Structure 1
Amino acid sequence: MRFVEGGLSDLSVSRTSFDWGVPVPDSPGHVMYVWVDALTNYLTGAGYPNDAETMARFWPADLHLIGKDITRFHTVYWPAFLMSANLPLPKQVSFGQDGSYSAEAIVTRVNAELANSFGNLAQRTLSFIAKNLDGALPEAGRSDPADAMLIEEMVIACAGLRTAFDDLMLSQGIEAWMRGVFACNQYIDAQAPWALRKTDPDRMHAVLGTLVRAIRMLAIAILPVVPQSAGKVLDQLGADERDHAAIDDDGWYGRQQAAGFTIAPPSPVFPRLELPAAAA
């Protein structure tokens, strides 16, 4: 606000004091001002100027999330650039906070939360079904209150992710989702379907069916974060409906079962990462 209150003046879109950058057509010695070049990437990423169909789908952006300390460029310069080109402005601009990144942190979280927790949960559940039930979806079996309790925890975890994401609290949303993953791992360890296979097959079916439902719900919820890997989990389940509303589709399992869907022996979806040599 202080910058605007101080009065606005014309801004040159080119520079001549250095030669690195995008050359200005028909203007020798001029390169594009870096913020013109950088901010325009939002448009070209949305299909501008050659892909009108994609542009119409993604622009104007419903939300433009920016980081700290670059507010002037995104809230003064960027709207001015768009208005000068007769292009619509983003519908909403919100400001983020500082983040931290390190290769070690990424490797640690991927291995702990995806490979070891969610990936291992899906792999051992679906592998067990493929091996011991010839891939057929488990029957209803003998239910237990723990089954409905787990599904309710999935509903809460997925809703927590959605609510947090709507409020742009991405880390908190993923933490809510991870609580669902941890609940599933606690459930499978407590129920031990590998032991039930010999002692109580009816109960084993109920446990495995509950886990299939839970894994599908978790995979749909995390799809916007890891679309390729979560999509592979859903492929293994034959789950075609993948919007957030599909999480609450209680009839999905019965339809898959009635259609005779079978689970093929799965391949691991979340391989463990190794720390890059330069960061080790």
Structure 2
Amino acid sequence: MAQPFYITTPIYYVNDIPHIGHAYTTLACDTLARYKRLAGDDVYFLTGTDEHGQKVEKAAEQKGLAPQDFVDQVSQSFRDLIPAINATPDDFIRTTEIRHKQAVQHLWDELVKQGAIYLGEYSGWYAVRDEAFYGEGELVNGKAPTGADVEWVTESSYFFRLSAFQDRLLELYHQNPGFIAPQSRRNEVMRFVEGGLHDLSISRTSFKWGVTVPNDPKHVVYVWLDALTNYITALEYPDQGGNFGKYWPHAIHVVGKDILRFHAVYWPAFLMAANLPLPKQIFAHGWWTNEGEKISKSLGNTIDPIELVQTFGADAVRYFLLREVSFGQDGDFSRQQLINRYNSDLANAYGNLVQRVLSFIHKSCDGVVPKPQDLQESDQDLLNACMITTQLETDMEALAFHKYADHAWQIIAHANRYMDEQKPWGLKTTDVPRMHTILYALADTIRQIALLTQPLLPVASAAILDQLAIPLDQRKLVGNPLKPGTPLPEPKGVFPRYVP
């Protein structure tokens, strides 16, 4: 029976156009969603845009646009990113949608009913760029720890009783060690909570671009309470049956490490206060630098994911970003390293294997899948190397995409060594049955590799499976062996070598 699985990107803030970090998070979620679908699970994959707050209001003003017109334009640029990087979300949510505003206001009312919200006055340091409040002790050289400018704010505000949830949050982290991943991020959150929690200002009166607080139109809902609610809006909250009941207990939020606190502290506290179930896991990935430098508009070194895809193809970008670093750690983007990865791993190792084998079959086996005879130990070893292993499943479940890719490339290396050792080209006139057996073992290995690489390289994998005449209904992670005698189309190169 198919198991429900729910995976979300953060909803991306629309004060600017998409960059490499947005593509990275979406690609990671897409890879896991594709894997789960191929494994037979019932997947719901959500992404979208966060469109409220003072930062958006100011950005719209600077552009001379009404906030709604501004967010319509920028949100579309995030929607356009999805097909460009070949992502496959099931829903794209916008916080300016009616369904979302209704969900936020319903959650607010529930928090009021539970006595978790009270009216007071806020005075403190606020960073517009981060849409976050900071204590005096958190400032670094007069700025937020993120480097954002802060301003002193005094205004009427509704507060959430976050301080009342310190013990419950710590109990959650202790009882569910995998709730926050990776381990280093879990430790960081626990230190923050152990240091003491203060009640959280959750409304603003100094601007209007947000969801109106029920029964008090002078206030708009704090952008993070608004934004975080998107994950349940998409599952038809406040209806707690249907999709909410089906998917929510299996939710995994994938976020950048800079917004972990909001997801791992505030969000579970909001849910606890409203007597709602918690997500299964929050996974925080690292940041990318560019050639060793922090990426910023002021340095002029931002990386446009659309340009990368147009230059190298979506598969190559997916592969590089997910193979280059351990997901959860920081990574350094290097265009030359992307080219090196493309040429060595994709063109030379994988693409060349496919081209050599299928071209040989086309020329020497009348273009049909050859019939194997007696399998020798070396043949069986190669075929066994492709089996889905518990470790492979564990790697993907742990979002260890680089390990999953390493495993696939170990099989590719094994197949290349096998071909060089067996030398089927030398058997054309001396032992045709043995040549057929070797080529069958290689072709079926390529089939299994292509099945495994579908989450990482969907376009290339589909092209390879097409060249092996694999029906669409046999492209799950575990498929049927190649049928001898099956006609194959003329092979075409999948990864042409990149020459700058």
TM-based fold match above 0.5: yes
State the match for 1:176 in structure 2. Answer: 407
Task: Choose the corresponding residue for 1:261, options 471, 486, 490.
Answer: 486
The 3 A distance-change label for structure 1 pair 59 and 142 is: same
State the match for 2:210 in structure 1. Answer: 24
Q: 1:71 deviation in Å?
A: 2.6
Q: Higher RCO, 1 or 2 (CA under 8 Å, sep at least 6)?
A: 1
The 3 A distance-change label for structure 1 pair 198 and 163 is: farther
Contact 1:154 1:214 in 2 (8 A): yes
Task: Choose the corresponding residue for 2:252, options 63, 78, 83.
Answer: 63
Counterpart check, 1:140 vs 2:330:
no
One-letter amino acid of the counterpart of residue 243, structure 1: K
State the match for 1:7 in structure 2. Answer: 197
Contact 2:469 2:489 in 1 (8 A): no
Deviations 1:91-130 (A, max 9, x none): 2234553231413322221221122111211122112222
Deviations 1:179-212 (A, max 9, x none): 1110000111122222222332111100110011
Contact 1:193 1:204 in 2 (8 A): yes
1:199 counterpart SS class: coil
Contact 1:117 1:182 in 2 (8 A): yes
Q: 1:218 deviation in Å?
A: 1.2
TM-score (norm 2): 0.44
Counterpart check, 1:76 vs 2:265:
yes
Aligned sequence identity (%): 39
The 3 A distance-change label for structure 1 pair 81 and 111 is: farther
Counterpart check, 1:92 vs 2:286:
no
| Bigger shift: residues 92-101 or 184-193 | 92-101
The 3 A distance-change label for structure 1 pair 47 and 29 is: same
State the match for 1:223 in structure 2. Answer: 454
1:139 counterpart SS class: coil
Superposition RMSD on alpha carbons, in Å? 3.7
State the match for 2:344 in structure 1. Answer: 112
Deviations 1:59-107 (A, max 9, x none): 5544334454533111123335667898753222345532314133222
Contact 2:386 2:449 in 1 (8 A): yes
Task: Choose the corresponding residue for 1:235, options 460, 466, 469.
Answer: 466
State the match for 1:278 in structure 2. Answer: none
The 3 A distance-change label for structure 1 pair 162 and 274 is: farther
Contact 1:138 1:206 in 2 (8 A): yes
- For the residues of structure 2 that align with 1:4 and 1:195, how far apart are their CA atoms? 68
**Unaligned stretches of 5+ in structure 2?**
1-189, 286-327
- For the residues of structure 2 that align with 1:15 and 1:197, how far apart are their CA atoms? 81
- For the residues of structure 1 that align with 2:221 and 2:340, how far apart are their CA atoms? 40
One-letter amino acid of the counterpart of residue 476, structure 2: D
1:63 counterpart SS class: strand
State the match for 2:357 in structure 1. Answer: 125
- For the residues of structure 2 that align with 1:162 and 1:217, how far apart are their CA atoms? 15
TM-score (norm 1): 0.73
**Unaligned stretches of 5+ in structure 1?**
276-280
- For the residues of structure 2 that align with 1:13 and 1:107, how far apart are their CA atoms? 48
Aligned residue pair count: 259
Q: 1:273 deviation in Å?
A: 4.0
Q: How does 1:153-168 map to 2 (within 5 A)?
A: 153-155=385-387, 160-168=391-399
One-letter amino acid of the counterpart of residue 278, structure 2: L
The 3 A distance-change label for structure 1 pair 13 and 228 is: farther
State the match for 1:210 in structure 2. Answer: 441
Identify, as 1 or 2, the structure richer in helix: 1
1:154 counterpart SS class: coil
Q: 1:13 deviation in Å?
A: 5.3
2:399 counterpart SS class: coil
Contact 1:196 1:203 in 2 (8 A): yes
Q: 1:164 deviation in Å?
A: 2.2
- For the residues of structure 2 that align with 1:136 and 1:82, how far apart are their CA atoms? 58
The 3 A distance-change label for structure 1 pair 105 and 37 is: farther
Q: 1:230 deviation in Å?
A: 1.4
- For the residues of structure 1 that align with 2:407 and 2:433, how far apart are their CA atoms? 32
- For the residues of structure 1 that align with 2:230 and 2:252, how far apart are their CA atoms? 16
One-letter amino acid of the counterpart of residue 385, structure 2: E
